Amino acid sequence: MAQIPSRYDVLITEILADPEPSAGLPNSSFLELQNVSGRPATLKGCFIEIGAASIRISKEYTLDPDSMVIVCSASASASYKKFGNVLPLTGFPALPDAGSTIALFTSDHRTIHAVRYTKKDYRNTLKGEGGWSLEMIDPTKPCMGNANWTSSIDPAGGTPGKRNSVYAPIVDEDPPHAKGAYAPDSLHILLDMDKTLDSQTACIPYRYQLDNGLVVNNAEPLPPFFNSIRLALSEPLRKDLIYRLTVTSVMDCSGNAVPPFSTIRTGLAQDPKPGELIINEILFNPKPEGTDHVELLNTGKSIIDAGQIHIGSRNVQGMIRSLIASSSRPFLIFPGDHYVVSEDPEITMHTFLVKEPRLLSDPVNMPSMPDAEGTILITDRQGSVLDELHYDERWHFPLLNDPEGVALERIDPKAVTQDAGNWHSASADVGYATPTWRNSQSLGSVEGNGQWTVSPEIFSPDQDGRDDYLTIHYRFQESGWSATVSVYDMAGNLIRCICSNSLCGTEGAFRWDGLNEDRQHPGYGPYILVADAFNRKGIRKVYRTRVVIAGMGR
């Protein structure tokens, strides 16, 4: 006798979201459902939710063990019957090309299976443009998420009604990690994990420990993905405290436990006042393969929710336009955090050194940022302006050969935002931008002017893991310095130019790998390192020191 399916008894195993241009499949979207339970499953009364749309399966349909059914619109059913069993649904929508959430529920709204697909799941740019289905790789790992999906390799563009062309066993040994934890109110915390959890371990309250005397009374994994847990607290959170939440012995659905002593910060977010959240870095003229970004710095003492902060610009009449939330979900910006809003955070991460990837936003539809000049502003949830900058490409360091791909950094967080003198091109030695971390041109607490040091003075570039490189550190009291760093032998012959007229920050470092200009070992012995620095005021400082390449003879 057919039974109502339990969680993961029936799986969504194939999705054709964009049928055009066809590689051989009908010109209509479909889903494939597969019964992996080993017993007949009745689908009558179940719901399929696609984004905000919900379609009920109203007629009798039994899905036999190890069998599949193609779910599509009534108008497409005839064209799909040649591929296998078909379940036509009136009102079945066209699936969004860019991605969506698809979930299968019982009649009483218990989750059977849910997936969230995106264009990136195709892992193939051409196939992502249409005509190819997304296929689940390993049906025994139904809660593994996007890593268990890829584009079909079948010549027809998909495999509706039969085993997926990409089928292969997957070993899942990656532990779950906490992505964030925020408080929707003073008595609850929502903990977001990066993987679907095993509900039996995730619902145990004592596996979640809070400091400052708070106790978790109840833990509830939330459908349909069960990667978020609602924690009910013994007493209210205080507005003036940052709490640490430690998660222990919670497992994902593959049996992997969170790493020991996994801890994440949380607390109650507050509405910021002007000056407590500032624009700290902007990249408005990226390289062709790059993307714009705006970095926000929390200079206050309170937690700020990025989901309540909007970023926008002004039109020619000076009216605010294009206000977009800086996060599509609640995300806490703690005091001192550098939060980066980017249209494509993956491109930002691949283009620059991102020390804190967690502080990159989800993809945001950024307001227009012209290359020559423009306005960028941020507002609170009521639309009040918190900070605003009218930038100009002429603020870049004048000796830059090309400002493309170079960010403007704020020098002093306490100084006036609109002061052109408070902005400077990011330094070359950090890659011309510092998203998610301290600006290369920040004044900070640098003391002295033109301080250079090297370490170690004796090094051995033999790749044995010990003293293989020479690091040249510098510190300046103000921005606007450039430097040429070179190495000479004792006869005065140039051995290696480490950098030439390179824009420096207020603090940074260069590195010498011990090789000459021909990428060859120059020989053991002493060398002279010369750092020749100058600024726009015409001030020049030259630093010379003796360094030694040591090692056993070759």
The answer to whether residues 106 and 223 touch, using CB atoms and an 8 Å cutoff, is no
- CA neighbor of 88 nearest in space, from 163, 131, 30: 30
Tell me, rounded to whole angstroms, the distance of Cα 84 from its chain centroid.
40
The position carrying tokens 């032998």 is: 489
Residues 266-302 have pLDDT tens digits of 999 999 999 999 999 999 999 999 999 999 999 999 9
Rounded to 5°, the CA angle 91-113-223 comes to 100
3 state DSSP class of 115 = strand
pLDDT of residue 137 exceeding 50, the answer is: yes
Phi, psi (5° rounding) for residue 201?
-90, -30
Using the 8-state DSSP alphabet, how is residue 148 labeled? G
DSSP track, 269-299: B-PPPTTSEEEEEEE-S--TT---EEEEEE-
pLDDT of residue 540 exceeding 90, the answer is: no
3 state DSSP class of 2 = coil
Q: What is the pTM of this model?
A: 0.80
Using the 8-state DSSP alphabet, how is residue 139 labeled? T
User: Where do the domains of the chain lie, and which CATH numbers do they carry?
Assistant: 10-151 (2.60.40.1260), 178-266 (2.60.40.1220), 277-430 (2.60.40.1260), 451-549 (2.60.40.4070)
pLDDT value at position 446? 38
The answer to whether residues 304 and 333 touch, using CB atoms and an 8 Å cutoff, is yes
Q: How far apart are CA 544 and CA 354, in angstroms?
A: 33
Instruction: Kindly list the distances between the CA atom of residue 356 and the CA atoms of 309, 337, 345, 367, 444, in Å, as whole numbers in the listed order.
Output: 20, 9, 12, 24, 19
Residues 219-238 have pLDDT tens digits of 999 999 999 999 999 999 99
Residues 50-98 have pLDDT tens digits of 999 999 999 999 999 999 999 999 999 999 999 999 999 999 998 999 9
Q: Which residues contact 232 (CB under 8 A, 6 or more apart)?
A: 187, 188, 216, 217, 218, 219, 220
What is the overall mean pLDDT for the chain? 93
Region of 184 on the Ramachandran plot (φ > 0 left; ψ -120 to 50 alpha; else beta): alpha
Encode 380-415: b = buried (16+ Cβ within 10 Å), e = exposed: beeeeebbbbebebebbbeeeeebebbbbbbbebee
